[in-house]
Amino acid sequence: MQQLVSVTLSALLAAGLYATMAYGLAVIYGVMRIINLAHAGFMMLGAYVTFTLFSRFSLDPFIGLVVVGPLFFFFGVVLYRAVGKSMARSGATPSIESLLLLFGVWLVLQNLAYVIWTGDTQSILTSYTMKSIEIFGVHVGVPSVFVFLASAASLIFLNVLLKRTYLGKAIRAVTQNRDAALLSGVDADRISATAFGLGTAFAGIAGGMLSTLMAFTPDFGRSFLLKAFCIIVLGGMESVTGVALGALVLAVLENVLGAYTPVPTSLQDAVSFALLFVALVAFPQGLPALFARFERKAIR
């Protein structure tokens, strides 16, 4: 029983972080139909910026997120303005040019990080890094709880933005039917810039949160990019709920396998790979489409 609570709790805590990380990828794909390979680079950069704010200005990493979010949004918009034209959407599938370009951006970021912060492993040690609290009789690290709360806050912010504001509705409109959005007066270029900024901000925030949980180097982020891919394939691009659901599925699977089977933690990434593979074969439209199918069957 104790173990069940513990597994459920750690799955839930991980899911929040995963959702934040994956949503950054989803919003960019949804609006621009490009796969942001630089996402891992933005996460890595988010970790280092949070680290620098902490070590140089002794800013608590979670308060640092409030700086990282807007900063990365701005960075994303500037990057889009600089190279966005080459990422312009040509058709239904991502263009090779955009993939190469963003892969290049990732490499540049990685090497910049080597120059600025060197290749040494860094980590953030706060007064509460090693502390834990007890929830339902299970000891949980304080940083994990903070990460979950920060994730929840950013996802709620996002949901309100998408559901309540003209800007958010325009993002959803472009995602669901781009031509219809253009014909209703939506400035596609502005929305693409905003979406790229949002995606970058979410990557930066996710990176900042990860930096409080584990050590990192300039190569940091690759395995999390993979997890994010897996989540958006599962959850679809359209809704925050879908992404959150995909994140939960992955987190539960990882934690259950870790706790109840002899699968070593080092094989955790293989889990997301396998899940990605199964998802693509079994329900290529993602979980929401699967549920919609059941719903329709139930109505009939």
Partner 1 sequence: MLEVTGIDAFYGKVQALWDVTFRVAKGEIVTIIGANGAGKSTTLKTISGLLKPRKGQIVFEGADVTGLAPNRLVELGIVLIPEARQLWPAMSVLENLEMGAYARTARPARAQTLQSVFAMFPLLKQRVRQRAGTLSGGEQQMCAIGRGLMARPRLLLLDEPALGLAPLLVREVFESLKSIREQGVTIVLVEQNVRHALALADRAFVLETGRVTLSGQASDLAHDPRIRDGYLGLAAV
Applying CB under 8 A, the residues found at the interface with partner 1 are 166, 169-170, 172-173, 176-177, 179-189, 238-239
Q: Give start and end residues of each alpha helix (H) in 212-267.
A: 222-235, 240-260
Q: Three-state SS for 37? A: coil
**Nearest distance from C-beta of residue 241 to partner 1, angstroms:** 11
Q: Are the CB atoms for 210 and 17 separated by under 8 Å?
A: yes
Euclidean distance between CA atoms 298 and 300, whole angstroms = 5
Q: Measured from the CB of residue 175, what is the shortest distance to partner 1 in angstroms?
A: 9
Q: How far is the CB of 155 from partner 1 (least distance, A)?
A: 18
Q: Which of 295, 297, 257 is nearest to 274 (CA)?
A: 257
Q: Angle at CA 201, nearest 5°, toward 207 and 86?
A: 110
When the beta carbons of 139 and 164 are compared against partner 1, the nearer one is 164
CB of 90 to partner 1, least distance (A): 10
* Residue among 241 and 268 whose Cβ is closer to partner 1: 241
Q: Which is nearer to partner 1, 3 or 176 (CB)?
A: 176
Cα separation values, 247 from 25, 49, 202, 228, 231, Å: 13, 25, 15, 8, 5
Query: Nearest distance from residue 18's CB to partner 1, in Å?
Result: 22
**Of 191 and 251, which has the nearer Cβ to partner 1?**
191
C-beta closer to partner 1: residue 130 or 289: 289
Cα gap 153→205, rounded to integer Å: 11
Cα 36 to the chain's mean position, in Å? 11
